[in-house]
Amino acid sequence: MSRARNDKCYQDMTSSQIHCKAGPAIGGMFFHDDKRIPTIELLFPPDPAVLNLNEHPWCGHMQVKCDDVPHLMREGFHWTAANMVQEDGYIEHERGEAVIRTIRTQFTMSRHLFLADLQEPARWIAHLQFYATYRGDLEQLQIEPPLEANDYAP
């Protein structure tokens, strides 16, 4: 991971170049090397009515770096599997730094996904983390394609 963060192959690339770049998994270097602090944070528990994270088999957490949050919110913050930077995702098997930040939960491992806006210039980049106790829970989580308008019909 430390080699990846020192590698400058993503520096000064557009979002479409980031999505198209083939190569080794480098752990979201484009996100970590971006000096902006996250301006949006979202929590994704399987059941939002249950407030205790220890009662969930997994939990998701997204950090978004964006320069103009009000503009992004007016337009709507939308993302799908198309926004994923496929080569940069990884699973952290031990209770690492990311898991410890989840406020003393039972989770022992995490899955990291990295996303970037498809618009040029990119308005946002994101780090989506899923935390769980069992590897199977992490492996089953997927970002589904967007629903079509007719998928909402009864």
Q: Classify residue 137 by its DSSP letter.
A: H
The structure's pTM equals: 0.71
Residue 84: strand pairing partners? 115
Whether 47 and 56 have beta carbons less than 8 Å apart is answered as: yes
- The pLDDT score that the predictor gives to residue 20 is 45
- The pLDDT score that the predictor gives to residue 57 is 87
Q: Give the model confidence (pLDDT) of 28-62 as tens digits.
A: 777 878 888 899 998 888 898 988 888 888 888 89
Task: Tell me how many degrees the CA angle 69-14-31 measures, rounded to the nearest 5.
Answer: 60
- The pLDDT score that the predictor gives to residue 25 is 57
**Would you state the structure tokens that stand for residue 22, as one six-digit string?**
């083939």
**Would you state the structure tokens that stand for residue 153, as one six-digit string?**
């019909």
Query: Which residue ranges of the chain lie beneath pLDDT 70?
Result: 1-26, 94-105, 144-154
Positive or negative: CA dihedral 69, 71, 73, 79:
negative
- The pLDDT score that the predictor gives to residue 74 is 92
- The pLDDT score that the predictor gives to residue 32 is 77
Report the run of H or E that residue 113 belongs to, with start and end.
strand 109-116
